């Protein structure tokens, strides 16, 4: 084979100067044709689109061409020319083809188009080769990149917080344990409990549910930081919106109050959605046409709207009125109850018809670190609620007052020995500060139009499922 540098399919398809010899490599989506000429649709993952390779059968060995089935990996050299056929602007007239890896048509699982998403989950090792997952994975990359760019452009610093921790940042007790002790023969203390002083870290440790507490330490030193990493929750929620391992972005800012925090959250989400509209056009068009034909208009409308900002108490009033007018919720609402996604979606999709930021939740249903309001009942929390998703962001202004924070920690029975370092920030140079957490996969659900969170992460971790 002639030794030419590989051109990506994306670059080949947008090449201006035609009539040049190029080399493309990728996976065969289909091969069809007649006894004189074959057409191979080749995809290399650089774009959702395929390039057509025209094969003049007289020039090639018959067994070589027969080995090029759907799923096979090939390298093709040829002249890039203006296409005669419909559906593509350029094509390659092959002069040389190498087969890197065959795919047996009787065994390769991705033969026909239109497999269900449920089936594709059972072959998560191969599903990136479908148009849908190629699009999702490319968009995942572009969103991750845009997140770093957004914060870097605003002088935020990327802080790496630990994944193994001995504190429960959300206080919800949904943590996976980390240990090197032998479960069957764990050493015991005199009172019969497991002796973690003999464990790897000399104490009991778990996988983190959030980097926030360490993020606060960063903000109270270098001003404004963000984290972006995996978080883990051992909650038994088997829903289309929950994962046991998900990625979270957590900005934390000194000198921000709750209003500054809301402004940042709204700017951030709009920036990311606009970035997707500007940089992922082919993938968005594909996802729009195949899975959700309102996707692009929904993204455009969220970028154009101001988010509604209302208190939890006002939100409950709206929901109670709706209930009184005959709207049926599976879980009835009243002041003090946590909102279910059906309630969040009612507020966003039926009532306000745009994203909603709900603030000032009852302190009993929110975490210990949130700033307490003067009413003694509510805290300065903010949840951003999105169409189709419900909660996409959770955050708050933080309690900066040492005594109030310590009293709350004591009331909730959070072991002080785990929290001394966190409280120290309120003893030494405490400052007003705020932050929030964006669930990366919830963002991806929104921008891709996928319905199930298992379809926006390469290898989902959910209850009873850790395959691949
Ligand atoms: O509301 P959460 O629990 O807030 C925190 O963890 C705070 N420490 C954030 C902060 O203030 N720095 O989680 C934040 C977001 C949610 O709004 C949701 O988007 C996502 O994380 N999330 C999940 N995503 C997928 N699967 C799960 N099990 C999730 N739990 C939360
Ligand atoms: Mg939350």
Q: In this structure, which ligand is nearest to the CA of 365?
A: 2
Please indicate whether residue 437, judged by its CB atom, sits closer than 6 Å to ligand 1. Answer: yes
Please indicate whether residue 348, judged by its CB atom, sits closer than 6 Å to ligand 1. Answer: no
Q: DSSP state, 391?
A: E
**CA pair distance 434, 227, nearest whole angstrom:** 14
**CA pair distance 456, 452, nearest whole angstrom:** 8
Give residue 1's pLDDT band: very low, low, confident or very high (50, 70, 90): low
pLDDT at 417: 81
Please indicate whether residue 385, judged by its CB atom, sits closer than 6 Å to ligand 1. Answer: no
pLDDT at 172: 80
The token pair at 117 is 């998403």
Give residue 16's pLDDT band: very low, low, confident or very high (50, 70, 90): confident
Please indicate whether residue 248, judged by its CB atom, sits closer than 6 Å to ligand 1. Answer: yes
pLDDT at 240: 96
Q: Identify which has the larger pLDDT, 1 or 123.
A: 123
* Residue from 383, 382, 432 nearest 405 by CA: 432
pTM of the full structure: 0.96
Q: Which atom of ligand 1 is nearest to the CA of 453?
A: 25
**CA pair distance 194, 122, nearest whole angstrom:** 38
Q: What is the pLDDT of residues 255-265, one digit of tens each?
A: 999 999 999 99
Average confidence score pLDDT of the chain: 96
Which residue out of 439, 446, 456 has the highest number of ligand 1 atoms within 8 Å of its CB and is therefore the one to mutate? 439
pLDDT at 362: 98
Please indicate whether residue 371, judged by its CB atom, sits closer than 6 Å to ligand 1. Answer: no
Q: Which atom of ligand 1 is nearest to the CA of 442?
A: 19
Q: How far is the CA of 466 from the centre of ligand 2 (A)?
A: 24
Q: What is the pLDDT of residues 360-404, one digit of tens each?
A: 999 999 999 999 999 999 999 999 999 999 999 999 999 999 999
Could you tell me if 334 and 320 are in contact, meaning their C-beta atoms sit under 8 angstroms apart? Answer: yes
Q: Does residue 17 register a pLDDT over 70?
A: no
When pLDDT is averaged across residues 101-110 and rounded to a whole number, the result is 96
Query: 272 burial class (0-12, 13-18, 19+ CB within 10 angstroms)?
Result: buried
Could you tell me if 330 and 342 are in contact, meaning their C-beta atoms sit under 8 angstroms apart? Answer: yes
Q: How far is the CA of 304 from the centre of ligand 1 (A)?
A: 25
Please indicate whether residue 212, judged by its CB atom, sits closer than 6 Å to ligand 1. Answer: yes
Which residue CA neighbors atom 30 of ligand 1 most closely?
242
* Residue from 70, 140, 220 nearest 442 by CA: 140
Please indicate whether residue 394, judged by its CB atom, sits closer than 6 Å to ligand 1. Answer: yes
The token pair at 345 is 């979606």
**CA pair distance 143, 282, nearest whole angstrom:** 15
Q: Does residue 441 register a pLDDT over 90?
A: yes
Please indicate whether residue 369, judged by its CB atom, sits closer than 6 Å to ligand 1. Answer: no
Q: Which atom of ligand 1 is nearest to the CA of 252?
A: 12
Q: Does residue 87 register a pLDDT over 80?
A: no
Q: In this structure, which ligand is nearest to the CA of 169?
A: 1
**CA pair distance 104, 187, nearest whole angstrom:** 53
Q: Does residue 2 register a pLDDT over 70?
A: no
Which residue out of 253, 264, 394 has the highest number of ligand 1 atoms within 8 Å of its CB and is therefore the one to mutate? 394
Look at residue 52 and give its three-state secondary structure.
strand
Write out the H or E segment, with its range, that includes residue 247.
strand 245-254
Which residue CA neighbors atom 27 of ligand 1 most closely?
242
């Amino acid at each position: 084979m002639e030794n030419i540098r590989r051109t990506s399919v994306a670059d080949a398809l947008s090449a201006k100067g035609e009539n040049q010899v190029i080399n493309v490599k990728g996976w065969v989506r289909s091969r069809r044709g007649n006894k004189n000429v074959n057409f191979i649709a080749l995809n290399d993952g650089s774009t959702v689109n395929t390039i057509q390779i025209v094969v003049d059968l007289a020039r090639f060995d018959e067994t070589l061409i027969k080995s090029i089935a759907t799923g096979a990996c090939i390298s093709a050299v040829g002249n890039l020319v203006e296409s005669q056929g419909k559906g593509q602007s350029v094509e390659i007239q092959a002069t040389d083809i190498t087969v890197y890896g065959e795919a047996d048509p009787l065994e390769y699982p991705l033969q026909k188009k239109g497999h269900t998403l449920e089936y594709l989950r059972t072959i998560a090792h191969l599903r990136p080769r479908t148009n849908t997952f190629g699009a999702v994975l490319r968009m995942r990359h572009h969103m991750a990149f845009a997140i770093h760019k957004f914060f870097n452009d605003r002088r935020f610093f990327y802080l790496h917080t630990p994944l193994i921790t001995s504190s429960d940042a959300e206080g919800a007790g949904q943590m996976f344990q980390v240990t090197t002790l032998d479960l069957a023969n764990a050493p015991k203390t005199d009172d019969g409990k497991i002796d973690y002083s003999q464990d790897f870290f000399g104490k009991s440790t778990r996988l983190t549910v959030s980097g926030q507490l360490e993020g606060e330490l960063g903000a109270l030193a270098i001003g404004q930081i963000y984290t972006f990493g995996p978080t883990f929750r051992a909650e038994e929620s088997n829903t289309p919106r929950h994962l046991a391992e998900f990625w979270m972005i957590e900005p934390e800012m000194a000198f921000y109050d709750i209003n500054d925090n809301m402004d940042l959250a709204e700017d951030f989400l709009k920036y990311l959605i606009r970035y997707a509209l500007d940089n992922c056009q082919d993938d968005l068009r594909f996802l729009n046409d195949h899975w959700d034909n309102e996707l692009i208009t929904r993204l455009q409308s969220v970028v154009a709207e101001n988010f509604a900002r209302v208190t939890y108490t006002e939100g409950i009033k709206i929901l109670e009125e709706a209930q009184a007018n005959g709207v049926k919720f599976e879980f009835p609402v009243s002041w003090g109850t946590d909102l279910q996604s059906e309630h969040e979606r009612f507020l966003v999709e039926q009532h306000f018809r745009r994203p909603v930021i709900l603030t000032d939740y009852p302190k009993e249903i929110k975490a210990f670190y949130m700033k307490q309001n003067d009413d003694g009942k509510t805290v300065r929390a903010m949840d951003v609620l999105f169409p189709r998703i419900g909660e996409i962001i959770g955050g708050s202004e933080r309690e900066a007052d040492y005594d109030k924070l310590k009293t709350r920690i004591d009331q909730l029975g959070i072991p002080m020995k785990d929290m001394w370092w966190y409280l120290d920030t309120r003893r030494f140079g405490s400052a007003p500060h705020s932050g929030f957490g964006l669930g990366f996969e919830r963002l991806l659900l929104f921008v891709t139009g996928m319905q199930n969170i298992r379809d926006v992460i390469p290898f989902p971790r959910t209850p009873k499922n850790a395959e691949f």
